[in-house]
Chain A
Amino acid sequence: MFLLFLGVFFGIVGTVYWFWSYEDGGTMMLVGTAALGFLPGLYYFFWHKRFGGRKFFFWGRAPGAGDRPSDSDDATIAEGAGVVDSFPSSSIWPFVLGMGAFFTVLALVFGSWLAFLGVPLILTALTGVTAESRRGGHV
């Protein structure tokens, strides 16, 4: 809902701006931001309709089938019991990916030889992270 609001708001501001100033750069940026709101906003709007919740974040009083305990005023802690999500607890791959990005980016400045260090690190990290996720844990 929030996202749709963003989309509508920037749509209005962008339109006002265009007709007032005929200035290209700012108008494009405002239109882009409107799109930023509409794209995920419309997706969630239709998703939510499909999965039964009549309630959105800002209004809607009756709990619907698609409700989560975090959005319900009367939820007890016990309702939230059970698996929350899976949180990888330790992983070397963000560090490796970070280092890879670092060296690759520096390659643009200092010379392509750095890319020989950076790009393999990135590729290794991406592979590692994917493997880690699939196996639900360490590689």
Chain B
Amino acid sequence: MVGVLAAALVFGGCKLPSFGFYPGATTQGRTTFQLWQGFFIAGLVVGGFVLILILWAVFKYRRTSEDIPKQTQYHTVLEVSYTVVPILIVLVLFVFTVLAENKVDATPANPGARVSVNAFQWGWEFDYPGGVKVIGQTTQAPTMVIPAGTDVQITLQSLDVLHGFYVPQFNFSRYASPGYKTTFDFNVLHPGTYRGQCTQLCGLYHSLMFFNVRAVTPSQYAAWLRAQQALAQLKPASVPQLPSGVKAGSSGANLSTSGSDAFSD
């Protein structure tokens, strides 16, 4: 009942507070946000109920006399109900979880764009069709340019240790694993720049592995991509390959720009 109530509130379109969560800049993030609101409400109700019970007991049953209180040891009806009701609540939460999860994890067949992301110690490389590479390390914070309003499919892997690809405002993160490729989709709602950071401990400069995601209109994206591809064709040598074992503290001079200055806005 609690879960259904929560669901009704959330999906009925009531304007609920965000409870501290980002509303989600992608359709997937939006789904997660609504799930969060439902869970938060359920948590408030259940947690609040239990809290009130505890506080009530603590204040009401303080010792007033030396009499021995009634030594109740069980109450079958009550015990059964507080076994069954939580199971029902959990089932409701699970159903909503699976529904949201399927939406968030879905990777449709024809995305509007594809980007390959390689994480490395301690930066990010974004590969686009046509040999376009955007690389930056630590505070150079490379920018991944993607079109808004359409599915963008990201294929993620790591070149050395585990890293975490995390964009807070998308309400999403995924591990970059070496030797294993994982795929997910973003459908960004509005153009804008969204910060990202590595979340999985990856060594010395883990704290500095920043990147940005820049969503632009599809036509701007197409123009940008064509320009980048042209650059890549003309001067392949100027698009550096990633040196293996790159260490932070090197001058970084051999790494490309973040790509966003090729953009006029």
A–B contact at 8 Å CB threshold (below): no
